[in-house]
Amino acid sequence: MTIVIDARLNAYRNGGIPQYTRQLIYAMAEVTPTTALTILQHRRQPERLVSAPNITRQVIYTPPHHRWEPWTLPLEISAVHPSVVLFPDFIAPTRRNFPAVVTIHDLAFLHFNDLLDDNARAFYGRVGASSKHADGIIAVSESTKRDIVQLLGIAPERITVIYEAAAAHFVPLPQTPHERKRINNVDVTANAFLLFVSTIEPRKNLPVLLQALRICRDRHPDRDYHLVAAGARGWRETPILHQIDHLRLHDAITLLGSVTDDDLHWLYANCRLYANPSRYEGFGLPLLEALACGAPALASDTSSLPEIGGDAAQYIPPDDPIAWADAIEQLWQDDDQRHVMAQRGPSHAAQFSWQTAATQTLHLLNQVAKPPK
């Protein structure tokens, strides 16, 4: 049997879906070393995404999200003679001669109409038809499964929930008081900052955190509340950045932009608090990564976040800056409670693993695969 995995998006982006694809391929190669895996990589990415004896790299010319993709991609894939193809980026071609499984990470674009530009809207507008024709559907949380049922009209028995996981290297680090690390030409001091990790875009809800920070500083001018934001600027970020000016928070915020994996690990493990105020998450991987590193975590009480964080995090309504300010204020000063939360996080995160995700994904792929001739 030949399992084919579409990894073309990894040639263009480094965000959540490419990370999911890479981690899943690593784990699948490990748990099934005798199964042939063919990885579709776009020609602009000449290096192998994952190297293993059972992995073959297949060069593909059709770019991801291209308008001709529904017609040209099936032709390219058919030449590989797949038993089954996994599409980690929401959409599988509806005209094809092979079984297909799609992973749906979230349906945020159906909850928030202003999230997409015209090109993205055209691509994700195909998710309904793709899901109806898919031979298997993976949802990354029960929350996402409910959305697929309610918003796309898919029968629940056609959907398999397979959780993501934090990468294995996200673990607590030895603590050095007042340690400083230079990240993107900025010095960051350990245990002295509130951490936000995300692309800066509307649904990640950074403004509520900014408002909470302003409240905290007004209430306690003597406390050095500081926010570090790690993540690239994204769709419609300008109004968010203008709010920093409006709230007079320039001296209270460090915008690092994109950071390396090593720097992100250090930030998680050395923040005083981690905050995820998102209005909606299909899985919320940064929350799980933060917990794995022992970060005391605050998160919104919406969508998948309570499902993923369990009792290891504290939850707050996403549109209540006063409640966020109260929680930040209380935990900032409570060393004992932060210590309890730091101990709880790694054991909770350990319940999620890429090896489990790979085993469950392989089981589903085997169920829908084309029988050998």
Say yes or no: 313 and 359 in one domain: no
**Would residue 245 count as lying in a domain?**
yes
Question: Are 114 and 215 members of one domain?
Answer: no
* Residue 241 confidence (pLDDT): 81
Tokens of 97: 């001669």
Reported confidence tier of residue 298, pLDDT bands at 50, 70, 90: very high
172 within some domain: no
Determine the pLDDT at residue 235: 65
Six-digit token pair at 287? 């929350």
Domain shared by 238 and 205, yes or no: yes
Interval 47-78: pLDDT, tens:
999 999 999 999 999 999 999 999 999 999 99
Percent of the chain with pLDDT over 70: 98
pLDDT at 203 over 90: no
Same domain, 147 and 274: no
**How many domains does one find in the chain?**
2
- Please provide residue 311's backbone torsions phi and psi, each rounded to the nearest 5 degrees: -90, 10
Q: What is the mean pLDDT of residues 27-49?
A: 95
- Please answer whether residues 40 and 11 qualify as being in contact, where contact means their C-beta atoms are separated by less than 8 angstroms: no
- Higher pLDDT pick, 115 / 130: 130
Read off φ and ψ for residue 274, nearest 5 degrees: -110, 140
Residue 236 belongs to domain with CATH number: 3.40.50.2000
Q: How sure is the predictor about 111, in pLDDT bands with cuts at 50, 70 and 90?
A: confident
Indicate whether 329 and 213 sit together in one domain: yes
For residues 335 and 325, give the distance between their C-alpha atoms in angstroms, rounded to a whole number. 17
Mean pLDDT of 10-33: 92
Cα-based angle 71, 367, 39 (whole degrees, multiple of 5)? 50
Q: Are residues 285 and 217 in the same domain?
A: yes
CA distances from 74 to 42, 267, 306, 336, 371 (A): 14, 42, 38, 57, 19
Q: Please tell me the predicted confidence (pLDDT) of residue 373.
A: 65
| In a domain? residue 170 | no
Residues 76 and 145 reside in one and the same domain: yes
Does residue 262 carry a pLDDT above 70?
yes
What pLDDT was estimated at residue 100? Answer: 98
Question: Which amino acid is located at 162 in the chain?
Answer: I
Residue 175 falls within a domain, yes or no? no
48 C-beta neighbours (distance < 10 Å), count = 12
Tokens of 10: 């990894």
Q: What is the mean pLDDT of residues 291-296?
A: 98
Q: 89 near 361, Cβ under 8 Å?
A: no
What is the β-pairing status of strands 273-276 and 194-197?
Answer: parallel
My answer on whether 237 and 97 are in the same domain is no
- The pLDDT of 163-191, averaged and rounded, is 94
pLDDT at 85 over 80: yes
> Is 136 part of a structural domain of the chain?
yes
Q: Where are the alpha helices (DSSP H) in 153-187?
A: none
In the chain, % helix, strand, coil (3-state, to 5) comes to 45, 20, 40
Evaluate whether 196 touches 275 at the Cβ level (below 8 Å). yes
- Which strands make up the sheet holding 136-139, listed edge to edge? 55-60, 36-42, 2-6, 84-87, 100-104, 136-139, 159-161
Q: Are residues 10 and 154 in the same domain?
A: yes
How high is the mean pLDDT of the chain?
93
Q: Is 41 within 8 Å of 11 (Cβ atoms)?
A: yes
Residues 27 and 96 grouped into a single domain: yes
**Domain assignment of residue 173, yes or no:** no
For residues 236 and 149, state if they share a domain: no
**What are the tens digits of pLDDT across the range 221-254?**
999 999 999 988 766 677 888 888 899 989 999 9
Quick one: tokens of 260? 């390396």
Q: Looking at residue 113, what is its pLDDT? A: 67
Residues 50 and 121 in one domain: yes
Range of the domain at 289: 180-349
237 vs 257: CA distance, rounded Å: 12
Task: Answer whether residue 121 shows pLDDT above 80.
Answer: no
- The mean pLDDT value for 297-317 works out to 97
